[in-house]
Chains A and B, each alone.
Chain A
Amino acid sequence: MARGTAVSRMEPLRVVGRPLPRHDAWDKARARTLYAADWQMPGMLHGAVLRSPYPAARIARLDTTRAAALPGVAAVLTAQDVPNNTLWTDVPGQTSAVGRLRARLQVLAEDRVRFQGEPVALVAAETPEVAAQALELIEVAYAEQPGVFGPEEALQAGAPRVHEEGNLLARWQVQRGDVDAALGRAHVVVDQTYRCQFVDHAYLEPEAGVAWVDADGVVTIRVSTQVIEHFRDVAEVLGLPHSKVRVIAPYIGGGFGGKEDVTVEVFLGLLAWRTRRPVRMVWSRQESLLARPKRHPFILRYRTGAAQDGTLLAQKVEVLADSGAYAYLSALVLLYATVTAAGPYRTPHVAIDARVAYTNNPPTSAMRGFGAMQMVLGYESQMAQVARRLGLDPVELCLRNALRKGDRLPIGQELDTHVAVAEAAQRAWTALGPRRAPARPSHRIGRGLACNIQPYGRIVWLHDWASAWVGFETDGGVVIRTGVPDVGGGQASSLCQIAAEVLGVDPARISIHIADSALTPLAGTTTATRQLYMSGNAVLHAATQLRRQILEVAAQMLETPADRVDLRESSAVTTAGRRVSLAQVMQECARLGVPRDYLGTYHAPAGDPVDLERGGGRVFPDYTFGAHAIEVEVDTETGAVTILRHVACHDVGRAINPQSVEGQIQGGAVMGLGYGLMEEVVVDRGVNLSTSFAAYLIPTSLDVPDVESVIIQSGEGKGPFGARGIGEPPIGPPAAAIANAIEDAVGVRITELPITPERVARALGLVTDGDRG
């Protein structure tokens, strides 16, 4: 067992740090990867979900008789057929009076529906066509009810209640110093409100899976998920022992947090258990866009006070978030927002009040950046305005206030690793190079900077851990087994690189088996920018212990002290150059009965829940810092904004695979550009108007430039070899950097996302409300 410190610093590194192609890329480039929807089983049925057309309604009558009688229908299920239809949750460490949260998981609607698209009934049939026909034969009489469609409205007295106990879902507050007094004596105070929107993960692979009841009654579900440990949720819903449900995650066609909550697996489990036949369920894009949880829209009010020289004195932040109809992970999303609300800056006086409310909008939950990313629009728009008001260069203002190692966040946590904010800001800004000339006289060029702080690893009081088994085969090859779902970020291949480094084998000699809750040691979720940190440390620990075991045997074979034997090129090699192959060493291990494997578990630094209002303390293991610099061209006749250059700089501690790191930075930055410029799930009084890719626009290759990534390697992260997590951080800065660049170009401040040409044109006075329609 390793706790907290499994950081190895073997130098020089031979495999870690090289931009190696991933093993899974070969299958993907040859279209051999079998994703969740590609799986078929003999005698397979097809599952489908009936969803509510109304955002708020009572179910007056639900009759499945005609559907069940349709030839080819094997099962029709409603809430009363589900053994445990509601799973509850509570959030340890919550500061407000809000207690146990409503419905971590509501399987099927009971007497009422709370959002458009809420699942009401399930069908399994011989063909997808029959399943679709059966859905149409289910008779539901809805009685529409008054709903609430925004968090402000939801918290007003007398608002219709989404759940019986009221619409305030969670509240977190932080107080440090005397923020009002400090704002009173500030030389400049910027007071601004920002609004950000619902967005969708829009992974290219819609939700899908296949379930079957395997030997000994084990419900087995092969599903596109970031969390194989949802086997427990499925078991609880079905009323089965946890050990009777098995979840397997194949390579996943993108997740970004959207496959963190359950998707199809509970429905599949119910249908397969009921019919005792294999069942496949594949959601259409339209269904995915309609009904899957989105990113939380936030309303942010920031009051930021600074002294004349730019030193930040105070930040007063109010957050109001829309949870939609169910809790999902809203309380934790809001905690991330609270912890990072003051940004990566020293601020002596801080007050944060963050609330999240239920509405009859689509539910919101995890998405890359998880509450911390929405805050960047607030604190970085504020910094740019403070700089303008004081006539300071944005980089200079950043340097004056940037957090450093040893500083404390407003929540009281000390930063005990390198903090690269200042360096990242300087490097990103410099890399923009000379300012470009506008393409036309009516165009203006502008530049914006935005820095960010994003946690990696889970909240310390969740006591996170990850396990990995590493073993040698007798031919000298290596096998890794670990329950890591691979969402496409190179999760599995980075683990191979770590093991290859420690064990002296070519990564091509390593086979890795991942993400099977029955057969691979559990490694937790591929969320929260935690897999490289957690499972990377677990593999490092296991491989290091395994190396020790076999080095003794190799040393005996080579008649050399173990401290003078190295493992490299699939051999044990003495300092004098004598060598024996690892295959021979393994055969000797077998003869001697020396184990050739090791099960390693890494426990993250743990802590008790902290009371944020009374001093706080450590909430996350560590943070990743970065800065993006963006150059835009604004068309002053149309409001169109073109991104000319985008430099994204992050301290990744150590790049285990620089190609994967660059891929994360470039992909995250472009997802952030989409969020900043074009993406929005438009919801009109609870009705989702963005249920197709023709309506929900994500960036194409023509909407974005080549993102230049600048990688800082401080060597001070808490992951293997000093790595920090980089999955989520790059999505944070782009929206604020664009807004800041637009103000630099044309002098108007955009405070609402996405920054469409229409919004810019309105800010420029090119259109007024009178022009609408």
Chain B
Amino acid sequence: MTELRIVFTLNGERREIQAPAHRTLLHVLRDDLGAVEVKEGCGEGVCGTCTVLLDGEPVSSCLVLAGRAAGRDIMTLRGLGDGDAPHPLQEAFVTHGAAQCGFCTPGMILTAYAFLQENPQASRSEIRRAIAGNLCRCTGYTKIVDAIAAAGREAPPRG
């Protein structure tokens, strides 16, 4: 079994790991680095639960081999905001009741965050299109769209 030495940045910190070549980024994050904020929903890239940002782009970490992350920048939900100052998107998810069981929430917020970076004033149907790869079984999506739309409206204009 080929072992790889992989160096990447996780939420702003340099991390170095040793992992078999077939190991997915999801398992490296969860099992080797204890980043259990990344959840596993299906293991086959359908549900979006395990979404992380790879150089700012949302990816299903269950479909990314860890080696592909070498030299790149990974962000999980723990990298967005912190305890004292949650990101406006996190606040919007709370105030709009967009998290019920909360299991899809980390992936959903990261997808929304990446989308709002480019489209802060998106319409509801554009938001629905953006999150179509992130399944939620609890909310029926309306309150998630509410939260993302509200966070977009509150975002400062990009200068």
Contacts and interface: CB of A to CB of B under 8 A. Distances in A.
Interface of A: 19, 21-22, 24-35, 37-38, 201-206, 251-254, 256, 282, 284-286, 487-490, 659-660, 662-663, 666-671, 692-694, 698-702, 704, 706-707
A662 B91 CA distance: 19
Query: Which 5 pairs show the lowest CB-CB distances between chains A and B?
Result: A488-B101, A28-B102, A253-B103, A670-B140, A31-B37
A422 B10 CA distance: 57
Contacts of A252: 101
A251 B47 CA distance: 20
A203 B103 contact: yes
Given A30-B86, A702-B128, A706-B124, A38 B94 contact: no
B43 interface: yes
A204 B132 contact: no
Interface in B98-153: 99-106, 109, 124, 127-129, 131-145
Given A660-B97, A701-B131, A253 B102 contact: yes
A728 B102 CA distance: 19
Nearest to A489: B100
A700 B139 CA distance: 11
B44 A30 contact: no
A204 B140 contact: no
Interface centre among B103, B105, B106, B135 (most CB of A within 10 A): B103
B39 A253 contact: yes
B18 interface: no
Secondary structure at the B interface, as helix, strand, loop or mixed, is loop
B148 to A, nearest CB: 10
Contacts of A668: 140
Given A663-B143, A700-B132, A702-B132, A26 B103 contact: no
A694 B100 contact: no
Given A29-B94, A666-B139, A204 B47 contact: yes
A278 to B, nearest CB: 15
Contacts of A27: 102
Given A35-B39, A660-B97, A29 B90 contact: yes
Interface string B53-77: 0000000000000000000000011
B42 A666 contact: no
Given A204-B136, A488-B103, 16 more contacts: A26-B94, A27-B102, A29-B99, A30-B78, A37-B39, A203-B137, A204-B47, A204-B49, A205-B41, A206-B41, A285-B44, A660-B97, A666-B141, A666-B142, A667-B100, A698-B135
A659 B147 CA distance: 13
Nearest to B129: A702
A704 B145 CA distance: 12
Contacts of A706: 124, 141-142, 145
Contact of B78 (A31, A205, A667): A31
Interface residues of B, number: 51
Interface in B12-65: 36-37, 39-44, 46-47, 49
27 contacts: A25-B93, A28-B102, A28-B105, A29-B90, A30-B81, A35-B39, A201-B137, A204-B39, A204-B41, A204-B103, A205-B41, A253-B39, A254-B101, A254-B137, A256-B137, A285-B47, A488-B100, A489-B138, A663-B100, A666-B141, A670-B139, A692-B44, A692-B46, A693-B135, A701-B128, A706-B124, A707-B142
Given A25-B93, A31-B78, A701-B132, A694 B86 contact: no
Interface centre among B40, B93, B101, B136 (most CB of A within 10 A): B101
A684 B78 CA distance: 44
A285 B47 CA distance: 10
Given A29-B86, A33-B102, A253-B103, A667 B97 contact: no
Contact of B94 (A25, A671, A702): A25
Contacts of B104: 204
Contact of B139 (A24, A202, A487, A663): A663
Contact of B140 (A206, A282, A693, A704): A704
A201 B135 CA distance: 13
B97 A659 contact: yes
B83 interface: yes
A693 B42 contact: yes
Contacts of B102: 24-25, 27-29, 33, 251, 253, 488
A30 B83 contact: yes
Contacts of B142: 666, 706-707
A405 to B, nearest CB: 30
B141 to A, nearest CB: 5
A31 B105 CA distance: 8
A25 B77 contact: no
B41 A285 contact: yes
Contacts of A667: 100, 137-140
Contact of A701 (B36, B37, B46, B145): B145
Contacts of A256: 137
A37 B40 contact: yes
B2 to A, nearest CB: 15
Given A29-B94, A666-B139, A698-B135, A285 B100 contact: no
